[in-house]
C-alpha cells in the first residue's frame, strides 16, 4: 500500500511517503536555527513555520517518491504528544487530504513511532523488526526519556521514564550554563570528543535505583553549582572540553546501564535506541560496547532518523493499517498530552 505521513509535533516539519514497509521519501525541514535565538522552541513560531513549510515539504516528498495524491491509499499524521498548535497543523492537513481523497486516516502516537525508527532501512521495516521481538527500546530526546519493552508487533509496555528533565533537556540546559548555543547537545558532543570524561565528577542520578526511571535535574543543578564555584573554568577551552566530556559521561552512563539492566531483567536479546540524543556519539559507542559485552543485539536508528521525522510515522501507520487497528474517525482531535500507555 502507499501512504502519506505528516509530522509536525515540535520543530521539524516532515512528510514521508511509504510503500510496503519501504520509505520512498522522507523530507524534513528543521526549524532549529529559528528557535536558537530564543534558547528553546517557541510554540507560536513553530506553528507558523509548519504552516508555511508543510505544503512544499509534502509536495517535495510526493515528487521524490514519484507518487501522485490519487495513488495514496491512506494518510497518517502525528496525533500526539507534542505542542498543541504545532500538532494541529499537520494533523488537520492530513485529515483534510484523507477527506478530500476519501481515504482512511490514521492518528499516530509520536513515541510509538520512535519505537519503529531503528528498523527503517533498505529492506521493508517490518522484516527485521519481527525477528527481534521482544526488545527493550530507549527513546531519548529533548522532551522525553523512556524505556519501553516492545513485546510484539504493536504491543509495548513503558518500563520507566524521566521524573523531571529529559536527557536532551539536560544536555541543552547544562550547555546553556556553559554559554553554549541551543541546542547544546550536538555542541557538547563535539567539544567532549577531545575532553577527559573523568576530569570532573558529577552524580549519576537514579543509577542504582531499582526502577527504570530516570532523573536529570539534580545533575543539571550540580553542574550549575560547579560553574558558580569555578567561574574561571569557562575561560579555559581545555577545561570546557573536559567539563563537556564529564557531563556527557554522566548522562550516557545512566542511560546505558539502566537500558542494559532492563534488557537483561526482561530476558530480551535486542536493544534499540532512537530520539535526538541517540545522535550522540558517546551514547552510540557505549551502547554498542555494553550490548556486545552482554550478548545483546543493538539496533540504533540511523542518525537522520533519530530526530523527528515522518518516515517513522508512516511505517507505524502502515503496520496499524495492515493489522486492522481501529481507525480514528475524521472528527478525531489532536492529543498533545498522549503519553505512551
Judged by the rule CB under 5 A, the positions of this chain that interact with Zn ion are: 141, 308
- The residue ranges that bind ligand KG4 (CB under 6 A) are 10, 141-143, 168, 171-172, 183-186, 189, 275-277, 279-280, 307-308
Shorter beta-carbon distance to ligand KG4: residue 184 or 271: 184
Q: How far is the CB of 313 from ligand KG4 (least distance, A)?
A: 13
C-alpha cell belonging to residue 74: 491512506
Q: Which does 113 bind (CB under 5 to 8 A by kind): ligand KG4, Zn ion, none?
A: none
Q: At closest approach, how far in Å is the CB of 160 from ligand KG4?
A: 18
- Residue 78 interacts with which of Zn ion, ligand KG4, none, CB < 5 to 8 Å by class: none
Choose between 135 and 141: whose C-beta lies nearer to ligand KG4: 141
- Letter string b/e over residues 31-65, b meaning 16 or more CB atoms within 10 A of that residue's CB: beeebeeeeebbeeebbbbbbebbeebbeebbeeb
**Residue 168 touches which of ligand KG4, Zn ion, none (CB < 5 to 8 A by kind)?**
ligand KG4
CB of 140 vs ligand KG4, minimal distance in Å: 8
Residue closer to Zn ion by CB (options 72, 251) is 251
CB of 306 to ligand KG4, least distance (A): 7
Q: Residue 15: exposed, middle, or buried by beta-carbon count in 10 A (0-12, 13-18, 19+)?
A: buried
Contact of residue 307 among Zn ion, ligand KG4, none (CB under 5-8 Å per partner type): ligand KG4
Q: What residue number has its CB nearest to ligand KG4?
A: 276
- One DSSP character per residue, 215-265 reads --HHHHHHHHHHHHH-GGGGG-HHHHHHHHHHHHHHHHHHHHHHHHHHHHH
231 CB-near residues (< 8 Å, 6+ apart): none
Q: Which is nearer to ligand KG4, 90 or 142 (CB)?
A: 142
- Least separation, in Å, of the C-beta of 13 and ligand KG4? 13
CB of 59 to ligand KG4, least distance (A): 23
Q: Which residues of 88-122 are buried (b: 16+ CB within 10 A; e: fewer)?
A: bbbbebbbebbeebebbbbbbbbbbbbbbbbbbee
Q: How far is the CB of 231 from ligand KG4 (least distance, A)?
A: 24
Q: What are phi and psi of 123, to 5 degrees?
A: -80, 165
218 to each of 166, 174, 181, 215, how far by Cα in Å? 12, 11, 22, 7
Nearer to Zn ion, 286 or 308 (CB): 308
CA distance 340 to 197: 34
For residue 286, the partner it binds in Zn ion, ligand KG4, none, with Cβ less than 5 to 8 A by kind, is: none
Amino acid at each position: 500500500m502507499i501512504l502519506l505521513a505528516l509530522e509536525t509535533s515540535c520543530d521539524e516539519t516532515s512528510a514521508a511517503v511509504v510503500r510496503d514497509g519501504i520509505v520512498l521519501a522522507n523530507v524534513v525541514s528543521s526549524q532549529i536555527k529559528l528557535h536558537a535565538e530564543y534558547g528553546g522552541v517557541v510554540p507560536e513560531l513553530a506553528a507558523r513555520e509548519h504552516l508555511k513549510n508543510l505544503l512544499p515539504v509534502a509536495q517535495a516528498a510526493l515528487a521524490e517518491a514519484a507518487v501522485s495524491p490519487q495513488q495514496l491509499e491512506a494518510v497518517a499524521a502525528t496525533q500526539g504528544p507534542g505542542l498543541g498548535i504545532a500538532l494541529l497543523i499537520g494533523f488537520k492537513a492530513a485529515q483534510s487530504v484523507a477527506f478530500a481523497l476519501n481515504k482512511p486516516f490514521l492518528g499516530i502516537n509520536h513515541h510509538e513511532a520512535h519505537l519503529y525508527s531503528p528498523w527503517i532501512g533498505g529492506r521493508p521495516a517490518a522484516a527485521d523488526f519481527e525477528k527481534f521481538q521482544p526488545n527493550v527500546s530507549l527513546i531519548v530526546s529533548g522532551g522525553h526519556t523512556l524505556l519501553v519493552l516492545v513485546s510484539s508487533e504493536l504491543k509495548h509496555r513503558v518500563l520507566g521514564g524521566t521524573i523531571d528533565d529529559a536527557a536532551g533537556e539536560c544536555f541543552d540546559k547544562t550547555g546553556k550554563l556553559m554559554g553554549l548555543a541551543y541546542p547544546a547537545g550536538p555542541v557538547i558532543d563535539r567539544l567532549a570528543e577531545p575532553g577527559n570524561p573523568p576530569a570532573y565528577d558529577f552524580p549519576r542520578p537514579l543509577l542504582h535505583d531499582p526502577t527504570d526511571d530516570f532523573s536529570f535535574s539534580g545533575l543539571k543543578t550540580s553542574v550549575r553549582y560547579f560553574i558558580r564555584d569555578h567561574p574561571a573554568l569557562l575561560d579555559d577551552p581545555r577545561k570546557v572540553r573536559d567539563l563537556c566530556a564529564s557531563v556527557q559521561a554522566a548522562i550516557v552512563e545512566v542511560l546505558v546501564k539502566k537500558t542494559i539492566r532492563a534488557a537483561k531483567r526482561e530476558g530480551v536479546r535486542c536493544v534499540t535506541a532512537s530520539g535526538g540524543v541517540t545522535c550522540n556519539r558517546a551514547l552510540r559507542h557505549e551502547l554498542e560496547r555494553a550490548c556486545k559485552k552482554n550478548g545483546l543485539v543493538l539496533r540504533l536508528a540511523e542518525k537522520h532518523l533519530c530526530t523527528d521525522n515522518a518516515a517513522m510515522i508512516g511505517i507505524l501507520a502502515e503496520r496499524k493499517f495492515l493489522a486492522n487497528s481501529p481507525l480514528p474517525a475524521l472528527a478525531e482531535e489532536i492529543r498533545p498530552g498522549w503519553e505512551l500507555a
